[in-house]
A and B are shown apart, each in its own frame.
Chain A
Amino acid sequence: MTINQKSKPLLAVLAIVLLLLPFFIDALLGRGWVRIADFAMLYIMLALGLNIVVGYAGLLDLGYIAFFAVGAYCYALTGSPHLASAFPLLFPHGIHLSFWVVLPLAALLAGGFGVLLGAPTLRLRGDYLAIVTLGFGEIIRIFLNNLNAPLNLTNGPQGISRIDPVNVAGAPLNATQQILGVTLPSVHLYFYLFLAFTALVVFTSRRLEKSRIGRAWMAIREDEIAASAMGINTRNLKLLAFAMGAMFGGVSGALFAGFQGFVSPESFSLMESVMVLCMVVLGGMGNIAGVILGSVLLALLPEVLRHGVVPLQQALFGKMIIDPESLRMLLFGGALVVMMLYRPAGLLPSRVRRRELDTDEVAETV
């Protein structure tokens, strides 16, 4: 019912394009860019998770990356030899659970942390909520950074390495595989894995958005007092929003750990939370297509700069004048200012698209 008949061929074309995309990228830009595309999809999942909290329920969360960290460390600890070396007596061989066992656990644990964050902040809104969530994000990161003593739980700032790769049907995704005569390098395999999860996250977001639950979230975003006067249990629904958003973060965190094979606290800094929030805001809060666009743009921007600006500057001036990292911040800040002035609702605001509560109704009301 979500997809009406007209959009089916379009969706099929999109699916084919996405399935062939890694080969195009590989051929045109090189294998490094497939890896960048993989990361972009992790960001899409994160941004869509945050979109539930910020875009639907209107709860400003500046510590969202903490849930990503929870998911990542969840798989890092259970899927690496770290516990074996830190606690040889307890775990002589480490835990080495399958990724597919850890994934739901990571999602649930992150969801639990979401509720943990949500519960004390129920009465807060706007700036106050932002400050508390920011603090929460930092607490998680600092814990991860310092939990190497007295017991070496997280290995501190060195992080956890040698994390098992994700296995699909017994085949590890960190090696080149042959499937039906097609050679698929590791980044391509992860591309498809992440594509599947991104599709799942998009599907989940869409279904939630156009449901009784989604409407209740939006009611809370629009006017919490009116929402509760209409019989919406704002406490439960806010906790649900935090938990759902956190679960998406946890899933993409576990995927990240399996993909990267290494996690350390510095991947989960405040700047990352801000970036994910910017993806949501830039693209168009509350609109799935907008959030995806925002994520792709912001995930690609630093890479484009890194690969484009240095050669460009060298060709123009013979030397590098502004390093790409500073330029990124400059462009980024400028883009945000321009956005706020000209498109405050985002590149693809959520109301521009025709509403489709159900198919026959659109015809009736237009």
Chain B
Amino acid sequence: MNSISASPLLQFSSISKQFGGLSALSDVSLHIRRGEIYGLIGPNGAGKTTLFNVITGLYQASAGEFQFNGKNYQSCKPHVLARAGIARTFQNIRLFANLSALENVMIGRHVRTKTGVIGALLRNRAARHEERAIAERARELLDYVGITKPHQTLARHLSYGEQRRLEIARALATDPLLLALDEPAAGMNATETESLKTLLQTIRASGITVLLIEHDVKLIMVLCDRVAVLDYGKKIAEGIPDEVRRKPAVIAAYLGGSDD
């Protein structure tokens, strides 16, 4: 199950991101290896989500290099990165609320399919075939993440935990190499968190690399192969979870240290 190869899937070299005078990320370097679950932790406002938005193309880095799967992706639009193989979920769930669960996942297939206007109008053999494949894959993924409600249920009528799962299914529909999850366990109860953990392990076992931002340190510790800790936009620690949690800088960041 741990088929972690040496070549990094994602490589961040001295990435900085400024918002006006505020430096949200300064000189962050990290790499994520293929097949691992990589955790990103840090106190509120440490720049985790900013880093996430840089990885997924919502923000453009002010400085630094960003390589994914051996290619440079400087200042690329989100849809380019999605095509390259980065899929994400959002901290505050962003589903297509008025569309059905099935449609949400089907939209995830957009980037891997190609029927255009002509195909849609003629509905020729290729278009019909693709459409059927999209729906089939979407249903598979809904089952995969464990959504048992009818697939025609509108996304906004799903329970909170199911919405989180649906977001994961939608992200998986893009056939990602890297699945980036922004606080997937936020607001979940213990049972839900437990089944999320199982799901993430299954996803990793299927060969998808997972990047995880999480506040639930316990979850991070049992799930992640490596973690990085951000504080005030700087990486203050990186390594396997057990080492990282003992580092004085990490303890200081979480519990308050002398430099505040």
CA–CA, A355 to B153, complex, Å?
Answer: 10
**Closest-CB distance, A352 to chain B (whole angstroms):** 12
Contact assessment for B94 and A225 in the assembled complex, using a CB-CB cutoff below 8 Å? yes
In the complex, residue of chain A having the shortest beta-carbon distance to the beta carbon of B56: A229
Within 8 A of B (CB), among A207-238: 207-208, 211-216, 218-219, 222-223, 225-234
In the complex, residue of chain A having the shortest beta-carbon distance to the beta carbon of B96: A222
- Interface size grouping (class) on chain B: 35 or more
Contact assessment for B94 and A226 in the assembled complex, using a CB-CB cutoff below 8 Å? yes
CA–CA, A146 to B111, complex, Å?
Answer: 46
A to B contact number (C-beta, < 8 Å): 123
Contact assessment for A215 and B110 in the assembled complex, using a CB-CB cutoff below 8 Å? yes
* Chain A residues with CB under 8 A of B116: 213
**Closest-CB distance, B163 to chain A (whole angstroms):** 12
Q: Looking at B56, B102, B152, which has the most chain A CB atoms within 10 Å of its CB?
A: B152
**Closest-CB distance, A137 to chain B (whole angstroms):** 25
Q: Looking at A1, A2, A230, A234, which has the most chain B CB atoms within 10 Å of its CB?
A: A230
* Chain B residues with CB under 8 A of A234: 79
CA–CA, A230 to B98, complex, Å?
Answer: 17
In the complex, residue of chain B having the shortest beta-carbon distance to the beta carbon of A345: B98
Contact assessment for A211 and B110 in the assembled complex, using a CB-CB cutoff below 8 Å? no
Contact pick for A219, options B107, B115, B121, CB 8 Å: B107
In the complex, residue of chain B having the shortest beta-carbon distance to the beta carbon of A355: B152
CA–CA, A229 to B79, complex, Å?
Answer: 6
* Chain A residues with CB under 8 A of B132: 358
* Residue B6 at the chain A interface, CB threshold 8 Å: no
Comparing B13-21, B67-75, B82-90, B250-258, the segment that makes contact with chain A is B82-90
Given the contacts A1-B123, A207-B121, A218-B96, A232 and B110 also touching, CB distance less than 8 Å: yes
Within 8 A of A (CB), among B188-245: none
**Closest-CB distance, A118 to chain B (whole angstroms):** 15
In the complex, residue of chain A having the shortest beta-carbon distance to the beta carbon of B105: A230
Within 8 A of A (CB), among B51-108: 56-58, 77-79, 82-83, 87-88, 90, 94-100, 102-103, 106-108
CA–CA, A227 to B79, complex, Å?
Answer: 8
CA–CA, A215 to B79, complex, Å?
Answer: 16
**Closest-CB distance, A107 to chain B (whole angstroms):** 13
* Chain A residues with CB under 8 A of B102: 357
* Chain B residues with CB under 8 A of A230: 79, 82, 87, 107-108, 110-111, 170-171, 173-174
Contact assessment for B107 and A208 in the assembled complex, using a CB-CB cutoff below 8 Å? no
Contact assessment for B83 and A231 in the assembled complex, using a CB-CB cutoff below 8 Å? yes
Contact assessment for B79 and A226 in the assembled complex, using a CB-CB cutoff below 8 Å? no
In the complex, residue of chain A having the shortest beta-carbon distance to the beta carbon of B173: A230
Contact pick for A357, options B135, B170, B174, CB 8 Å: B135
Contact assessment for A207 and B174 in the assembled complex, using a CB-CB cutoff below 8 Å? no
Q: Looking at B58, B88, B103, B113, which has the most chain A CB atoms within 10 Å of its CB?
A: B103
Given the contacts A212-B134, A223-B94, A233-B79, A207 and B123 also touching, CB distance less than 8 Å: yes
CA–CA, A74 to B10, complex, Å?
Answer: 54
Contact assessment for A216 and B98 in the assembled complex, using a CB-CB cutoff below 8 Å? no
* Chain A residues with CB under 8 A of B27: none
* Residue A178 at the chain B interface, CB threshold 8 Å: no
* Chain B residues with CB under 8 A of A211: 115, 119-120, 123, 127, 131
* Residue A267 at the chain B interface, CB threshold 8 Å: no
Contact assessment for B123 and A2 in the assembled complex, using a CB-CB cutoff below 8 Å? yes
**Closest-CB distance, A363 to chain B (whole angstroms):** 12
* Residue B1 at the chain A interface, CB threshold 8 Å: no
CA–CA, A1 to B90, complex, Å?
Answer: 36
Contact assessment for B95 and A215 in the assembled complex, using a CB-CB cutoff below 8 Å? no
Given the contacts A215-B103, A215-B110, A357-B135, A228 and B88 also touching, CB distance less than 8 Å: no
* Residue A366 at the chain B interface, CB threshold 8 Å: yes
* Residue A115 at the chain B interface, CB threshold 8 Å: no
* Residue B187 at the chain A interface, CB threshold 8 Å: no
* Chain B residues with CB under 8 A of A361: 135, 151
Q: Looking at B100, B117, B131, which has the most chain A CB atoms within 10 Å of its CB?
A: B117
Contact pick for A208, options B113, B120, B154, CB 8 Å: B120
* Residue A176 at the chain B interface, CB threshold 8 Å: no
* Chain B residues with CB under 8 A of A103: none
CA–CA, A191 to B225, complex, Å?
Answer: 70
* Residue A152 at the chain B interface, CB threshold 8 Å: no
**Closest-CB distance, B117 to chain A (whole angstroms):** 6
CA–CA, A312 to B109, complex, Å?
Answer: 59
* Residue A314 at the chain B interface, CB threshold 8 Å: no
Contact assessment for A231 and B110 in the assembled complex, using a CB-CB cutoff below 8 Å? yes
Contact assessment for A366 and B150 in the assembled complex, using a CB-CB cutoff below 8 Å? yes
Within 8 A of B (CB), among A38-55: none
CA–CA, A219 to B103, complex, Å?
Answer: 9
**Closest-CB distance, A350 to chain B (whole angstroms):** 9
Q: List 8 A-B contacts (CB under 8 A).
A: A216-B110, A222-B99, A223-B96, A225-B94, A231-B111, A351-B98, A357-B135, A361-B151
Q: Which 8 pairs of residues, A with B, have the shortest CB-CB distance? A: A231-B111, A231-B82, A211-B120, A222-B96, A226-B94, A228-B78, A219-B107, A365-B150
Contacts A215-B99, A229-B87, A232-B79 known; 14 new A-B pairs at CB < 8 A: A207-B120, A207-B121, A211-B119, A212-B120, A216-B107, A223-B95, A225-B94, A226-B94, A230-B87, A230-B108, A231-B108, A234-B79, A357-B135, A365-B150
